[in-house]
Structure formats: structure tokens, C-alpha cells
Amino acid sequence: MSAETDTQQPATSCCGGGGCQGGSTELQVGTVTAVYQVSGMTCGHCEGAVTAELSALPGVTSVKAVAATGEVTVISTSPLDTEAVRAAVDEAGYELAGA
């Protein structure tokens, strides 16, 4: 698992922050991004189950699970307790690897 706190200010866009609808990714200031390795995910259903359980944890604002790599990226308002993450992944029917 890796985690980092993002404290950079978002870059100002050419649209002044309101007009673009393109595929840009907005920076969430004051958040923590953690990447977990989850064993057993093989398909979109697996990704959805893990995403649903982790999204229910307090402070979680975004979850992106990728079955092909086993990586789950979680953005939250503060660092998450590893045991809470493990319990959520277990509840979904999978295993948190290496933590």
C-alpha cells in the first residue's frame, strides 16, 4: 500500500474552472490517495463489489478498482485505518494483499 497527501493547488485552466467538459482529472486538495493490492478480483463484478464496500468507509471520496492488476486506488479525506480497509475488502469477498 502506498499513500500520499495532496496539498498542491489545482492548476488554473484556460476555461477559468467552469467551461471544460473534457477528460481532465481534477486535483482534490487536502486528500489522501492510497493504492492497495487486492487478491482475487477477476472481473467488473469483482471491481464493483470492492468499490461498494470501500466507498462505504467514512471519509472515502473515490474508489477505482482494476481487476486486471489487482490495484485499488482510494481517495479519502484522511488516512484510512488498514484494518477497516481489510474488513471492507473481506466483506466484499476478497483479500487485501501485503498489508
Task: Give the rounded distance of the alpha carbon of 94 from its chain centre.
Answer: 16
Structural domains of the chain sorted by starting position, each given as residue range(s) with its CATH number in brackets: 37-99 (3.30.70.100)
Q: Cα separation of 8 and 98, whole Å?
A: 29
Higher pLDDT, 85 or 1: 85
pTM: 0.71
Lowest average pLDDT, out of 1-5, 11-15, 57-61, 79-83, goes to: 11-15
Percent of the chain at pLDDT above 70? 70
Please give the torsion angle defined by the CA atoms of residues 51, 52, 57 and 63, in that order, rounded to the nearest 10 degrees: 30
- The rounded mean pLDDT for the chain is 81
Kindly report, residue by residue over 20-59, the tens digit of the pLDDT. 444 444 555 689 999 999 999 999 999 999 999 999 999 9
